[in-house]
Chains A and B, each alone.
Chain A
Amino acid sequence: MNETILLTGATGTVGRSLVPILAERDDVEKVYLLLRKPADTPDFDRPGSNRMMPASGDISAGGQLGLDAPWSEEIAEHVTVIIHGAADTGFSAPLAELRAVNVEGTKNILTFAAHCPRLRAIACLSTVHVAGKRTGLIEEEFMEHSAGFVNGYEQSKYEAELLLREKMKDLPISVLRLSTVLGDSGTGQVAKLAAIHQGLRLYYHSLAPMIPGSPSSPVDLIASDYAAAAIAHLAIAQFSAGRVFHLCGGRDVLSLDELLRLTHDAFTRYRPSWRKRSIAMPTIVALPTFELFARSVQAVGDNLLRHSVDVIACFAPQLAYPKSFEDGACMRALASLATKKPRILDFYPKIVQWLVESGWADRNVATTVEAVAS
C-alpha cells in the first residue's frame, strides 16, 4: 500500500529525524510537510527526497490549517496517514499560548482530518508527562487525573489528549507518548536544543546549583533516531486506532544521580580542561528547598542567574514526582521494527560528546539561557 502522509512538526526535535525515515520507506508515496515557513524545510539528501512536499500552513490557523485552497483540497483528497507532531514545547510559556497550539492546533488537525476520505490513521505525538505530578508506574492508556502539572506544556498536552480521546469514536486516532528526546544514538547529534540540553549547559557553566528530586528519581530519556523510526512504524505499519503507546526508556532509565555522574564524566572526558574548574555536581534536593532557592533568586538575582533558574524550574521539578512508564504494549507493537532500542548508557555519553564538541558550551550562555527561558 502506498501511503500519503501529512506530517506536522517536521522541523522539531523528532520531526527532523522522522523526515528522512519517511522518505526512505517503500510504503510511502508522498509526504506533505506542513510548515509555517516553507523555507524551514529540513535539509536532507537521500533517496526519496522528491517525495517531500512542503506546504505552507499552520495548525493554529483553523480547520484548513492555514493552507491555500488548492493545497488543502489536494492533501485532504489524498492523505492516508496524519502524523501530528507539531507542538509548542515552551515549558515556561503562558498556558494560553500553549493551548493555542497544543490544544486548538490538535482540534484543527481533527477538523481537517474529518474531511479526508482516504484517511486511515492519525498518529498524534504526545508526552509521557501528561501524567503531570502523578507518581509510580504510569500505565499505557488514556488517563484522567487531578494530580496537577509541573508546567503548562504538560497541562496543554493532557488537555489535547482529552480531546483526542473524545474524538476517537469518530476518527482513527492513536497517541504516541514520548519521553524526553535527547538526540541521535549513533552520532549524538542534537537537532534542536531543548530544556534538558540547556540544563546540562548550565551545569557545564556552574549555573545549576541544585535539582529537585531524589538520587533515585528515574530519568526517562530516548534517542531521536529510534523515536522517529518507532513513530513511523506505529503510524504506518503497526497503526492501531484507539491505542496509547509509551515510546520511552521504560525499564532502561538512569537514576538522577547516575545521570549527573555520567554527565560529569562525559564533560571531563570530552573537554579535559573542564576538570580544572572543579565545578560541583548539582545537589539533588527536596522540592521545597529548590522552590525556596528559586523564589530567592527571583527576588534578588541578576538576570543571568534568574534565567538560569527559570530554565531548570520549568522542567526539573518533574523529577520530584518520581515515576516510571509502562511500555509493554509499545514494545510488542515494535517487535517487528528493525531498529532496536538503543541503551541509554550507550548513547547518553555520545549526546554529551556531541554537545561539547559542537561548541554548544561556548556560545554566549546569557543569550541562549534567556531565549530558552522566555
Chain B
Amino acid sequence: MEHTQKPSVGVTAIEYVLGSEAVSLEELETRELLDTQANKLREFGFQCVRMSREPSYELGLQAARKLLQSCAVDPETVDAVFYVGATPDSQALLTADPRSAFNYPVAQLQYELELTRAFTMGVSQLGCAGLMTAVSLARSFLLSSECASRVLCVSADVLPAENKREMIYNVISDGACAVLVEKGGARNRIMGYRQITKGYYWDLTTKKNEIAAAYFPTARAIMQDILRESGIEWPSVGLILPHNVSLRSWEILLGLVGAPAEKLFSANIGRFAHVIAADNWINLRDAMESGKVRPHDKLLLFTFGFGANWACMLLEH
C-alpha cells in the first residue's frame, strides 16, 4: 500500500499594524476607560494600550499590504483570504444604509489588494481565538486542496471609541495582523492544533467570574494535551508565545503547567497589551526579529477567546 506523507504547512510571514496612539493606563483611568485601578493593572504587567482613530478595516488592509510587499508575494498566487474580527466594526463596513450589513471587509480587501484568484471567508464569533482558528483552517484547506498553496489570514479589531478598554482584568489595544500560511512552508511548520469550545460560558455579561475561574484549568489541559499528542515535553518547548493577557495570569498559568517563566515571550504584554486575536502572531514575529527563536525550536502558542474558546498551536520554527 502506498504511503503518502502530508506536506508540511507553515506560517511563513507575519506583519502587523497597531493603533497609532499610545495611551498610558493612567490616562485611560482619567478617561474612565478602565474598571480596575491603573496601578493594579500596572502591577499585573500592563503599561499602555494602542488606540486607533482609523476603523479596523484600514488597519487590516495596511497589515495585509505590508505583508504582501515585504515578502514580495504576487497577489495572484494567494488562494484564499480568511478575515478575522471580534469587534462589531470588523463584521461589516457599515453605513447609514441597512443594506451595508452585507458590505464585507474581506471582499473589499480582496479587491483593494488585487487578490483576484483568492476566495474569501470571514472567521468570527471566536473572540480572541479567531486568528489562530483561521490559521488552523488555512492549514486544513491547504492540505485538502491539491492546487492551493497560499492562504492569507488577516485579523483586524478596533474597539468603539466610547468602549471601556478593560475586559476581565486585561487591557485591550487596537490592531491588525496578517499571517501568510503556505503549503510546503518549512518555516514555523504547524505541528498540531487543538481548540476547545465550552458554550456554557457564552454569556460574558453574566458569567464573567465563571469565565475568569474556568480559564485556568482548561488552559492547562489544552496545553498538556497538545504536547502529549505531539510527543513533546515541556523541556523541548523553546518558547511560549502568549496572548497578551496580564503577565500575572501567565505567571499563574505557568505555575499550573510547570513551565519555567523564561520560556514565556512576555516583552509585548506591557507595551502592546492585548491586541484581541493578533497577540500570538505579533509575538511570534517580534520573537523571530529579536533572535529569540532558533531553527527547529518548538513554539507553543496559546490563546483564549470569548465564547468560550481555548486554542493552542504548536509550531516548529
Residues on A lying within 8 angstroms of B by beta carbon are 205-210, 276-283, 285-286, 288-289, 292-293, 296, 299-302, 304-305, 308
Q: Are A276 and B209 in contact (CB under 8 A)?
A: no
* Residues of chain B from 26 to 83 with CB closer than 8 A to chain A in the complex: 36, 40-41, 43-44
Task: Please report the C-alpha to C-alpha distance between residue A299 and residue B248 in the assembled complex, in whole angstroms.
Answer: 11
B256 and A278 form a contact (CB under 8 A): no
Contact of A302 among B208, B216, B221, B256 (CB under 8 A): B208
**Nearest Cβ in chain A — how far from B306, in angstroms?**
15
Contact between B255 and A209 (Cβ–Cβ < 8 Å)? no
Q: A209-B215, A293-B216, A305-B213 are in contact. Are A299 and B252 (CB under 8 A)?
A: no
A210–B217 CB distance below 8 A: yes
Q: Does B212 contact A (CB under 8 A)?
A: yes
Cβ A207 vs Cβ B252 within 8 A: no
B249 at the interface (CB under 8 A from A): yes
Q: List the A residue with the shortest CB-CB distance to B36.
A: A300
Q: Enumerate B173-213 residues with CB–CB distance to A below 8 Å.
A: 198, 200-201, 208-210, 212-213
Q: Which residues of chain B are within 8 angstroms of A208 by Cβ–Cβ distance?
A: 213
Q: Does B214 contact A (CB under 8 A)?
A: yes
CB distance from B61 to the nearest CB of A (A): 36
Contact B40 A286 (CB under 8 A): no
Residues B220 and A283 in contact, CB atoms below 8 Å apart:
yes
When A and B form their complex, which 5 residue pairs have the shortest distance between CB atoms, in order from nearest?
A289-B255, A280-B217, A277-B200, A305-B209, A209-B213
A206 with B214, Cβ < 8 A, contacts A276-B200, A300-B169, A302-B209 known: yes
Could you tell me the distance in whole angstroms from the C-beta of B107 to the nearest C-beta in chain A?
36
List the B side residues contacting A289 at CB < 8 Å.
252, 255-256
Q: Chain A residues near B252 (CB, 8 Å)?
A: 289, 292-293, 296
Known contacts A206-B200, A283-B256, A289-B256: does B210 contact A299 (CB below 8 Å)?
no
The distance in angstroms between the C-alpha atoms of A286 and B249, with both chains bound, is 15
Q: Check B214–A288 contact: CB distance below 8 A.
A: no
Tell me if B169 and A207 are in contact (CB < 8 A): no
| Residues from chain A with Cβ under 8 Å of B217 in the complex | 209-210, 280-283
The answer to whether B214 touches A209 (Cβ under 8 A) is yes
Query: Beyond A210-B216, A281-B217, is A308–B255 a contact (Cβ under 8 Å)?
Result: no
Return the chain A residue nearest B251 by Cβ.
A292
5 contacts between A and B (CB under 8 A): A208-B213, A278-B198, A292-B255, A296-B252, A305-B209
Interchain CB contact under 8 A, B256 and A300: no
Q: Tell me the bound Cα distance from A304 to B213 in angstroms.
A: 11
When distances are taken between beta carbons in the complex, the residues of chain B under 8 Å from A280 are: 214, 217-218, 221
Bound form: Cα–Cα A207–B217 in Å: 11
Whole-angstrom distance from the CB of B54 to the nearest CB of chain A?
31
Pick the most buried of B169, B215, B249, B251: most chain A CB atoms within 10 A of its CB: B169
> Does more than half of chain B's interface fall in helix, strand or loop, or is it mixed?
helix
Nearest CB to that of B197 among chain A residues? A278
Q: A277-B200, A278-B198, A278-B200 are in contact. Are A308 and B256 (CB under 8 A)?
A: no
Q: How far is the CB of B171 from chain A (nearest CB, A)?
A: 12
**A297 → B minimal CB distance (Å):** 8
Instruction: Give A293 to B220 CA distance when docked, in angstroms.
Output: 14
Shortest beta-carbon distance, B128 to chain A, in Å? Answer: 19
Please name all residues of chain A whose beta carbon is closer than 8 Å to the beta carbon of B256 when the two chains form the complex: 210, 283, 285, 289
Besides A276-B200, A300-B36, 9 more A-B contacts (Cβ < 8 Å) are A209-B215, A277-B198, A283-B217, A285-B255, A285-B256, A292-B248, A296-B44, A301-B209, A301-B212
Rounded to whole Å, the gap between the CB of B192 and the closest CB of chain A is 20
Residues on the B chain within 8 Å of A276, using CB: 200
Report the minimal beta-carbon distance from B223 to chain A, rounded to whole angstroms.
11
Q: Which residues of A contact B215 (CB under 8 A)?
A: 209
Cα of A206 to Cα of B212 in the assembled complex, Å: 9
B residues whose Cβ falls under 8 Å from a Cβ of A: 36, 40-41, 43-44, 169, 198, 200-201, 208-210, 212-218, 220-221, 248-249, 251-252, 255-256
* CA–CA, A244 and B209, complex, Å: 44
Chain A hits for B36, CB < 8 A = 300
Report the minimum CB–CB distance from A143 to chain B (whole Å). Answer: 32
* B contact residues around A308 at 8 Å (CB): 209, 213
What residue in chain A is nearest B212 (Cβ atoms)? A305
| CA of A289 to CA of B220, assembled, Å | 13
Bound together, the chains give a CA A276 to CA B200 distance in angstroms of 8
Bound-state Cα–Cα, A301 to B221, Å: 23
Question: What separation, in Å, do the CA atoms of A301 and B210 have in the docked complex?
Answer: 12
Closest-by-CB residue of A relative to B308 is: A278
CA distance A322 to B225 in the complex (A): 28
Nearest-neighbour CB distance to chain B for A187, whole angstroms, equals 31
Q: Which A residue sits closest to B246, measured CB to CB?
A: A296
Q: Are B210 and A286 in contact (CB under 8 A)?
A: no
Once the chains bind, are B44 and A279 in contact (CB under 8 Å)? no
Residue in contact with B213 in the complex, picked from A207, A277, A286, A292, CB distance below 8 Å: A207
Kindly name the residue among B198, B213, B218, B248 whose own CB sees the greatest number of chain A CB atoms within 10 A. B213
Q: Are A299 and B43 interface neighbours, CB within 8 A?
A: yes
- Smallest distance from the beta carbon of A276 to chain B beta carbons, Å? 7
B212 contacts across to A, CB distance below 8 A: 301, 305
Q: Bound complex: CA of A289 vs CA of B250, how far in Å?
A: 11
Which of chain A's residues have a CB closer than 8 A to the CB of B200? 206, 276-279
Neighbouring B residues of A277 by C-beta, 8 Å: 198, 200
- The chain B residue with its CB closest to the CB of A292 is B252
Across-interface contacts of A301 in B (CB, < 8 A): 169, 209, 212
Kindly state the separation between the CA atoms of A308 and B251 in the bound complex, as whole angstroms. 21
A301–B168 Cα gap in the complex (Å)? Answer: 9
Residues of chain A within 8 A of B209, CB atoms compared: 207, 301-302, 304-305, 308
Min CB gap B230→A, angstroms = 21
Residues of A near B40 (CB, < 8 A) are 299-300
* Docked CA distance A355–B138 (Å): 47
In the complex, residue of chain B having the shortest beta-carbon distance to the beta carbon of A306 = B209
Contact check: which of A209, A278, A299 meets B216 at CB < 8 Å? Answer: A209
